[in-house]
Amino acid sequence: MYKDLIKNYIPTITPNQIKEYGKKLGININDSEVTILYQFMMKNYSEILEGDESSFKTLQSKINPTLYNQLLALYQENKKKYL
Which pTM value belongs to this model? Answer: 0.88
Tens digit of pLDDT at every position of the chain (83 positions) = 788 888 899 999 999 999 999 999 999 999 999 999 999 999 999 999 888 999 999 999 999 999 999 999 999 998 888 76
- Measured in residues, the chain has a length of 83
DSSP code per residue over 18-63: HHHHHHHTT----HHHHHHHHHHHHHHHHHHHTT--TTHHHHHTTS
Task: Give the start-end residues of each E strand in the chain.
Answer: none
CA distances from 24 to 7, 8, 72 (A): 22, 22, 17
